[in-house]
Amino acid sequence: MGKIFDTFGTLTYANEAEVSQNFIIPLLTELLGYSREDIKPEKEYPVFKINYGRRSFSSDKLPKSQKPDYVVCNGTTDKPKFVVESKGPEEKLDNHLKQMTSYAIGVGVNFIVMTNGKSLMVNDVNEPIFFAETMEDLDIKSEILIHILSKDIQTTKKHAEIIQTINLKESLGMMYAGDDASFLKLQLSDFLSYLKKINEDLFDWQVPFEMESGIGQNIEQYPPEKMLQFRRKGLEGGIKDNTEKISLLDLINKDYGKIRIIIGPSGIGKSTTLRYLAYQKSTECLRGQSPLIPVYIQLRRYGLNLNIRSLIKNSLEKYGMTPSDARFSEMLNKNMFLFLFDGFDEIEEKYVIDAIHEIEAISEVGNSRFIISSRDSRPPFLHNASTFIIEPLDDEVVLEISGLYFGAEKYSFYNEMARCGIGKDAHNTLILTFLALIFKEDKYLPSSRRKTIQRIIELMKLWEKGKDSRASNTIEWDIRKRILAELAYEIIDGEKGVTLSSSEIDKVLIPLIKELKDGCSIPADVDKRGILEDLSLIGLVNYENNSISFCHRIFLDYFASEAFANKYSSKLTILSTKISKIYWTPIIELAAGSIEDGGTYVIDIEKSHLFLAGRCAVEVNNIDDEICHRISLSLARKCSSLVTITRFRAMNILRRLQSTYSEEIFYKLFMDCEYTDVKMMALKQLNIIGSTRGQELLSQNIDLSGNGRLFFDQTIPGNIALSIAHNKEGDYLKIIEIWKREPDLFTSQNCKDAILIVLRSGHMTDGLKKALLEFYLEKGDIEKTSKDGGLATVLIEIGDASIVPSLVESLKDMQEDKTYGMYTNEILASFKDDKVVDYLIGQVTEKKSDKNIIVECAKALSQSKGRVPKDVFIKLLDSKEQLVRAYALDGLQRFPAPTIKEYLVGHIDDVWWAQREAIKVLAEKGMLLELTKQRDFLGNISQPAFEILLEKIEDSKAIEMLPVLNDLLNYCQQDRSIVRVSKTFCIIGEVTKAKSILNELITNKGTHMEMYALSDIVEIAPIFDQEYAIEMVKFTLASTIQDERYRLFLEHQCIESLEKIGGESSLVILKEIALKNVVSNGGIVTERALRAMNALISKKDEEWYSNFIESYPQLNDSAFRRAIEGLGLIGSKASITKIQEIAAKNKSNQLTIDFCYSAMENVYILNGEYIEISDEELFGRLV
């Protein structure tokens, strides 16, 4: 071997410091010719200004993770040549490149060198130009490295000259993307300058343009592809929204047609997602990995003088491209763009139709794709567009993001959010970002929801101060706060949702502006428009189309509460006029923290609304302990209510109220209350607050068991497990004992949550980890799904890779019990560690491995969060096991389409699941049309492949797939298959064809059709127009008469479809079904029909519901409760007496009482009233 391998090939490194001293320094001095004086440690390099996206920082303010180890110079620091960063021996280099880019640009160099002592990478800013995977590889390529980085080359040649001499195939080797990348780079050569500029401008994609930081805080970048999930919005014709979660990568890469629309409320991450895509796609273009040229456009600028084409050209010009009209048209036809239209809802109403027509017109030119964002309040309706709803962040993602910000302290942050009552708000990405910044700066979150919102606003105020170039700064913050408060108050008082129109704004601002000018609080030349534009720059409100709305509900509530507090201080009677209005309850609650005499305020509220008074007491600053005790005692009495909801609300507020009397109250509730749900919650709270008596009670009741569910689907043993988890000195192994003893669904969920509490509070031990693994690997009759699923979640979050061999070995036992270890591949797939991936690869490629191990490890690799080489999946395609081939095809999905196309096409005539995966991945990589070229396989298509092919044709709405559909129809032998194909015809727009297929089938088969085909017909009915859909339901219902055995099943299917179809005709049929089944089948069909009706009813149906309840006293409990629920949903106050009568007659039936309470409360809510219903009122004062 050569000098490099002989010197470094056998060395090992414990950490990055050893990599620096024992590898980097010798490499630079002995191979590349630099002196020790040329190699400047970063901490010794002069401080300089660094551009971080659109912001500027001093280089010494950057965190260590964003600084290199060395700046290599030609003697002095004013002649820098490249930067060098060392990483630990197990770290991946490409994970850290982005952190170095801004620093390198700030220094004034393009070359970035990164190494972990095993591999070495050199980048020209974002683009890789050299890569050696091993020391042996580096030895072979040493001459190439010398011609790039040696002192002789760096001091005698310009950057451009060095780049021109590099042969990427030789310098990158296996990392090189091949001929496809070369072709793409050639294709994009005219756009390189544009792509580099947009890439640099959107480097800091997570910070909105409106909120550029002026306080030096770095917002960590957490890619939306890891953070957000989407749901496909239902198709026209009544189909409900899809419940399947879709990742951002799937949304982009799968064939959903040219136009995709993403909708969601303010702050959910729409703009961030589009900005990220612009950055990410520009990066991929520069690396030769994608032909999609991103163009980011803010639609708020669309109007009279700027149409869609103009906005696109302006965006291109902003980053250096100035095409003529003719050249622009040529570009649209020749190139593939990814047009990112941000904020469709911000287009003025009068221009919306024009914008839609223009977007549709441009979408018909060339092969570009379009992603359009909009708030869910005003989504665009474009022909052949697929619409996706952004899901709020789930708890798992919130925790993962918390880990990005805070590492090991993530649980502290997570628990702080729960403590201050703002956990649900954190499911919004914008609010979560603010909370993270507050915790990073203060090390804690404020003590209540109001104080937390106030702190967020203070942070935004600081941000605004750092934006002198954008904000007018002519209005003082206190004046802005007053204006925002009055605007918010008007929105709430007028029950106007979240927006004020121009005339409603005038009503507030014109007199207020006059008052402020008269008092010299604002300059004389400031007008209404100036004020609104000034407010919009803060980031709290949106001002568009002459209307104003708050960016998030928490800001609206906060500022309205400020106005309410001011008005209450001068006019106490205002409370009595608002307290019973549902819109005002969150405002009254938040206002408690602004009112000087909070104690009196709480007492005033307590007279009529105890629960609201309790919530206000939580918000009051320094509330008198005696007032708190008085409220607590009243709430404790409510814990004896006959109504479950009342007991829970009382306990929940007691949990948040902290006073010197809390322990005594919870202890008495446990000892004296007759209701188990209250006793168990009291026990848990005693252990949360660290009560000695609570620990003693827990020890005495450790083996307590019992049937029934408590609050929030908790069980008695499950609540004991949670109490143990909250006890800092608890015997956590007892939780596993409870889990083994009580393996039902709800207790399993409770025990899983308990273990996660232990983990997140930092009390996980090696012994507990071992016990959890042993429990997961146990065999037996225990309920597999609930136990294994919960334990898998825990093991994944623990993330201990040492359990991998044991998990793999256990897969052998699946031969005897197919349900054993059913979540094992999910656990294995969760590890990102290269060593785990290599271990799994070894298992699937070892010929002597057990068959189950090979199959399950192949599945784990296909879903792995780690980096699996493409060659592994290609090798698995030769397996004799079709499931292994199927998983290999699924695994190929992570690689660029051109590099996997031949393997996918080669398996479309494979068998069963392998054939299915080949078709699925082809479709999801945008290559569905390949199937039109070779259709011979359709004659022998497997059922799984048949289903996935139709599903993917529906997703893409590709009319070009008609030849494939027609072939499939000709091959169909079964009624169900014919119905299934007709559905696809309808969804892609061939409605007439779809109806003719169904009509012919109905004519030929009539009532002799297969039962499941009838079920399929009624299932697809909602995608058709309402008249035809109702006809299909009626046909199916008539057919059920011919065979009584299947009537129950088919009627259930009809009910499901009628609920989706909607309308008066559906309601009529549902009533007939409900009446027809009152006394048969235990009332199951009637309950389901009533449940569907409850989604469609209005006030005119009140009499029907009342008569139905009166006429059928023999109704089973579930149907009876559903009818009570219907009365509440109708919302007529005339129903209250009826509900009270029912409650009084059923005082011994807990569930019926609870349904009555909810129905009665719903009536008040639908009438805009906030009433705390007492037991006396619920039972008509007959308790």
Selection from 491-500, 887-896, 1073-1082 with the highest mean pLDDT:
887-896
Give a yes or no: residue 160 inside a domain. yes
Residue 356: CATH number of its domain: 3.40.50.300
pLDDT for position 212: 41
Q: In terms of domains, do 381 and 427 share one?
A: no
Confidence (pLDDT) at 209: 45
Among 391, 422, 455, the domain boundary falls at: 391
Q: Is the pLDDT of residue 426 over 80?
A: no
pLDDT tens figures, 318-369: 888 888 888 888 888 888 899 999 988 878 777 888 899 899 889 888 888 9
Share of the chain above pLDDT 90, in %: 31
Average pLDDT over residues 745-762: 88
Strand partners, 86: 115
CB within 8 Å of 56: residues ≥ 6 apart: 49, 50
Classified as helix, coil or strand, 921 is helix
Q: How many residues does the chain have?
A: 1183
Q: Tell me, what's the pLDDT at 686?
A: 93
Could you tell me if 396 and 384 lie in one domain? Answer: no
CB burial class (10 A; 0-12, 13-18, 19+) of residue 1130?
buried
> How much is the average pLDDT of 907-914?
84
Domain assignment of residue 408, yes or no: yes
pLDDT at residue 887, rounded to an integer? 92
Q: How confident is the model at residue 107 (pLDDT cuts 50, 70, 90)?
A: confident
Place of tokens 């990405």: 429
Q: Is the pLDDT of residue 1146 over 80?
A: yes
Q: Which of 176, 208, 231 is the last residue of a domain?
A: 176
Q: What is the CATH number of the domain that holds 22?
A: 3.90.1570.30
Residues 622-679: pLDDT tens digits? 888 889 999 999 999 999 999 999 999 999 999 888 778 889 999 999 999 999 999 9
Q: 404 and 341 in one domain?
A: no
* Lowest mean pLDDT across 792-806, 819-833, 1055-1069, 1136-1150: 819-833
Using 50, 70 and 90 to split pLDDT, how confident is the model at 898? confident
Tokens of 857: 């490890």
**Cα–Cα distance between 584 and 328 in angstroms, integer?**
54
As a whole number of angstroms, the distance between CA 876 and CA 863 comes to 15
Question: Is residue 307 assigned to a domain?
Answer: yes
Read off the pLDDT of each residue in 987-1007 and give the average, rounded to a whole number: 87
Tokens read off for 885: 């081939």
C-alpha to C-alpha distance for 213 and 689, rounded to whole angstroms: 39
Whether 387 and 411 map to the same domain: the answer is no
Measured CA to CA, the distance from residue 1151 to residue 860 in angstroms comes to: 44
Residues 277 and 160 in one domain: no
Buried/exposed code over 741-763 (b: 16+ C-beta within 10 A; e: otherwise): ebbbebbbbbbbbbbbbbbbeee
Q: Mean pLDDT, to the nearest integer, of 1042-1052?
A: 76
pLDDT at 220: 56
pLDDT of residue 224: 79
pLDDT at 385 over 90: no
Name the packing angle between helices 1011-1020 and 991-1005 (round to 10°).
150
Do 222 and 322 fall into the same domain? yes
Residue closest to 845 by CA, chosen among 876, 886, 806, 814: 876
Q: What is the dihedral of CA 266, 271, 276, 278, to 10 degrees?
A: 170
Q: What is the model's pLDDT at position 1079?
A: 74
Tell whether 151 is covered by a domain: yes
Provide the pLDDT confidence category of residue 862 given band limits of 50, 70 and 90.
very high
Which pLDDT value is given to residue 468?
44
Please list, in sequence order, all residues whose beta carbon lies within 8 angstroms of the beta carbon of residue 353, skipping any fewer than 6 positions away.
none
Do residues 425 and 267 make contact, with C-beta atoms less than 8 angstroms apart? no
The reply to whether 97 falls in a domain is yes
Indicate whether 200 and 169 sit together in one domain: no
Claim to verify: residue 315 and residue 209 sit in the same structural domain = yes
Q: Is pLDDT of 484 > 80?
A: yes
| Beta strand segments in 291-379, E | 292-298, 336-342, 369-374
Closest CA to 126 of 301, 286, 310: 286
Backbone angles phi, psi at 731, to 5 degrees: -85, 90
Beta bridge pairs of residue 260: 371, 386
Whether residue 752 has pLDDT greater than 80? yes
- Which one, of 203, 210, 37, 213, lies nearest residue 106 by Cα? 203
Domain stop point among 445, 480, 511: 445
Residue 239's pLDDT is 41
Rounded Cα distance, 166 and 211, in Å: 41
Answer for the pair 655, 685: CB distance below 8 angstroms, yes or no.
Answer: yes
* Whether pLDDT at 1004 is above 70: yes
Other CB atoms within 10 A of residue 1020 CB:
22
pLDDT at site 471: 43
Inside any domain, residue 182:
no
User: Is the pLDDT score of 152 beyond 70?
Assistant: yes
User: Is 60 exceeded by the pLDDT of residue 52?
Assistant: no
Residues 299 and 407 in one domain: no
Does residue 293 sit within a domain? yes
Confidence grade of residue 177 (pLDDT, cut at 50, 70, 90)? very low
Alpha carbons 623 and 610: distance in angstroms, whole number:
16
User: For the residues 408-425, what does the mean pLDDT come to?
Assistant: 74
Q: Is the per-residue pLDDT at 228 higher than 70?
A: yes
Selection from 483, 428, 298 nearest residue 372 by Cα: 298
Instruction: Please give the tally of structural domains in the chain.
Output: 3
**What's this model's pTM, rounded to 2 decimal places?**
0.72
Q: Which helix (H) or strand (E) holds 506?
A: helix 502-518
Tell me the average pLDDT of the chain: 83
Name which of 601, 605, 651, 638 is nearest 623 in CA terms: 601
State the average pLDDT over residues 421-439: 78
- pLDDT beyond 90 at 205: no
| 42 domain-assigned | yes
Do 75 and 217 sit in the same domain of this protein? no
User: Above 90 in pLDDT, residue 402?
Assistant: no
Q: List, for residues 758-782, the tens digit of each pLDDT value.
A: 998 889 999 999 999 999 888 765 5
Mean pLDDT value of segment 934-944: 81
pLDDT in tens, 778-829: 876 555 556 778 899 899 989 899 999 999 988 887 655 555 667 888 999 9
Asked whether residue 258 falls in the same domain as residue 403, the answer is no
pLDDT at 186: 54
For strands 111-115 and 80-86, give the pairing: parallel
Mean pLDDT of all residues in 963-982: 88
Identify the band that residue 1182 occupies on the pLDDT scale cut at 50, 70 and 90. Answer: very low
- Supply the range of the domain harboring residue 255: 196-391
Same domain assignment for residues 406 and 387: no
